[in-house]
Amino acid sequence: MTIITTPVYRPFPDPAKPRSLMWPVMDPARPDGAYVKDIVLNFEHLADGEGIPLHRHTGEEVLIIDEGEAEAFLGDESRALTDAWVHRTA
């Protein structure tokens, strides 16, 4: 396990989000080769009007809306998400 104390936000590599920032969190492999596998954790600051295109995951996803609002889709269902909302999709 790695303890990260300072987030490092970077510009999105996606030209559709020129004003948004992301912080991909990964557990780097230790000298003994151990690390946390099969987990993805991204913190995102999305600028007004910018968003994440519809996509699919092979695993589960958890959305945490810290500030602002968003719309999430799961199959044919959509849901408005607002501040401090935690939403799990499977």
Mean pLDDT across the chain: 79
> pLDDT tens across 7-63, in order?
889 998 888 889 999 988 776 677 787 777 767 778 888 898 888 888 887 777 777
Q: State pLDDT tens for residues 51-74.
A: 888 888 777 777 778 788 888 888
Listed by start position, the domains of the chain span: 1-53, 61-90
Sequence-distant (6+) residues with CB within 8 A of 8 are 23
Q: What is the pLDDT of residue 5?
A: 77
